[in-house]
Amino acid sequence: MSNVNELLMPKLGLTMTEGTLSEWSISPGDSVRPGDLLFVVETDKVATEVTAEAEGELLEILVQEGETVPVGTVVGHWTGPGQSSNDSEEPLQESEVGLESDDGQVSQASPSSSKPESLSPAGEPPSRRRIIATPLARRLAREHGLDLEQVQPSGGTVRVKASDVRAAVHQQHSQQSPAESAEVPSLAPRESQTINASAHMQAMARRMVDSKQQVPHFYLAAEAEITELLTLRNMLNQQEGFEKLSLNHLVVAAVVRALERTPEQNRSFINNDIVQFEHIDVGMAVSTERGLFAPVLKHMEGMALDDIAIKARALQDRVQTNSLSHDDMQGGAITVSNGGMFNVSYMTPIINPPQSAILGVGSIRELFRPDAQGQPALHKEMGLVLAADHRLHDGAGALAFLNRIVDALQQPYQLLRPRVAALRG
């Protein structure tokens, strides 16, 4: 008999300490070939497929689906080669492991996710086909006593989505008599119910608690007068053939320009060491129905404003279509969190570790202030709050950095001209 080796929970990033085994794609006794999917790991950043590097047979499962365990934990035994806990596999779109929004929108399953369909899950007869379904679809099916084998996947895919289950329940309901229909549970939210948090939300919650407890935050607030910035944006957006600029694109550009001029702010405090970053990477908080994500724009130094907008738009599209890669979620010393669309004057955000700062952006306010002659003049202002890690930054340095951001927003034409040194660097 072949040697018995361990399958471990892999380390998928510098700061990853644990992961949730969200799905086993094989069962004990199943054989796999190189490239076949073994299991899926979810972290607060992304979901990742762990595939077989060689032929082998799964002998035993030690960590069940839904369990969260530390990196390096033995999740199972197989006859293939031993596995390092530092193995990092190709990232999987969250939609491919069933992390869907409430409206059931999930992109088409990847080819690798359909490979295990012929395998028989543990405890099921070989003649019973394996059902590929999202976790929300399985939960809804359980709540309504519906057999997933009777649910037809939509959209030409093999994966059953929550919308498919809702449609099947609705059809079942419409075929029943009035007396029977009254007994069918409602699809509407109940007055009080417990909802299982996704692995992403659980891990994000832990990270935010750890950040607030372990990172000594201090906050600096300022207002930026952005009348001229909005005028420039309108002028640029009138030109055809260019990426449309959002206010958030301009704020990100201002942060990039400030980091070009204050490289000492482009660093983080990691494992009691100061890490100075070679490139300027800026995180961008994006709110979705699946939770808050903060992917990172890479190598922004010397980048033109139009290119910043194109890169930011593409990254936001990857968030909304559930196609973020593991690399998209790594790096950077600062994140921009813009809450201006929600009618807030000031927002004091929590640093996303291992970054060392985060900029909270408020809504635009119109107010009168005296001009040079003492006459009331209408201004458009935006509140900014910089949260910084006091282990690394002091008040004076952080204020200088924040003032550079404000200066770039109030004199917006400098956003069109990256620092010459950055272009040469």
| DSSP, residue by residue, 260-317 | HH-GGGSEEEETTEEEE-SS--EEE-EEETTEEE--EE---TT--HHHHHHHHHHHHH
pLDDT values of the chain reduced to their tens digit, one per residue, 425 residues: 458 888 998 887 766 788 888 788 888 988 888 888 888 887 766 767 788 888 889 999 999 988 888 888 999 999 888 765 554 433 433 333 333 333 333 333 333 333 333 333 444 444 445 677 765 567 667 767 778 788 888 766 666 776 677 778 777 766 655 554 445 555 555 567 777 777 677 777 888 888 999 999 999 999 999 999 999 999 999 999 899 999 999 999 999 999 999 999 999 999 889 999 999 999 999 988 878 889 999 999 999 999 999 999 999 999 888 888 888 988 999 999 998 888 889 999 999 999 999 999 999 999 898 888 888 988 899 999 999 999 999 999 999 999 999 999 999 998 987 765 444 44
pLDDT score recorded for residue 232 = 94
CB 361 within 8 A of CB 215: no
pTM of the entire predicted model: 0.62
pLDDT score recorded for residue 131 = 72
Burial (Cβ within 10 Å: 0-12, 13-18, ≥19) of residue 76: buried
Question: Per-domain residue ranges for the chain?
Answer: 5-181, 215-424
Is beta strand 74-78 parallel, antiparallel or unpaired with respect to 159-160? unpaired
Torsion of CA 51, 53, 57, 63, to 10 degrees: -40
pLDDT score recorded for residue 174 = 65
Residue written as token pair 């009348």: 227
Distance of CA 339 to the CA centre of its chain: 17
Reference 29, options 90, 74, 79, 83; nearest CA is: 79
pLDDT score recorded for residue 284 = 95
CB 59 within 8 A of CB 75: no
Taking residue 292's Cβ as centre, other Cβ atoms within 10 Å add up to 16
Burial (Cβ within 10 Å: 0-12, 13-18, ≥19) of residue 35: exposed
pLDDT score recorded for residue 51 = 84
- Distance between CA atoms of residues 406 and 422, nearest Å: 20
Tokens representing 131 are 């059902």
pLDDT score recorded for residue 123 = 42
Mark residue 333 as left, alpha or beta (left: phi above 0; alpha: psi -120 to 50; beta: remaining). Answer: alpha
Query: In terms of residues, how long is the chain?
Result: 425
pLDDT score recorded for residue 165 = 78
Domains 5-181 and 215-424 share a fold: no
- Distance between CA atoms of residues 97 and 113, nearest Å: 8
pLDDT score recorded for residue 372 = 87
Half-sphere exposure of 2 (CA within 13 A, CB side): 16
pLDDT score recorded for residue 89 = 39
Amino acid at 155: G
What is the domain class of 215-424 according to CATH?
alpha beta
- Distance between CA atoms of residues 147 and 134, nearest Å: 14
Amino acid at 47: A
What is the domain class of 5-181 according to CATH?
mainly beta
- Distance between CA atoms of residues 47 and 12, nearest Å: 10
What DSSP string describes 199-231?
A: HHHHHHHHHHHHHHHHS-EEEEEEEEE-HHHHH
Torsion of CA 82, 88, 89, 91, to 10 degrees: 150
What Cα–Cα distance (Å) separates residue 272 from each residue in 33, 206, 391? 43, 21, 9
- Distance between CA atoms of residues 257 and 116, nearest Å: 49
pLDDT score recorded for residue 220 = 97
Residues 6+ apart with CB under 8 A from 361: 248, 251, 336, 337, 338, 339, 340, 347, 382, 383, 384
At 41 the three-state DSSP class reads strand
Reference 335, options 316, 350, 320; nearest CA is: 350
pLDDT score recorded for residue 114 = 37
Reference 391, options 272, 289, 301, 300; nearest CA is: 272
Torsion of CA 345, 348, 352, 356, to 10 degrees: 110
Is beta strand 357-370 parallel, antiparallel or unpaired with respect to 334-338? parallel
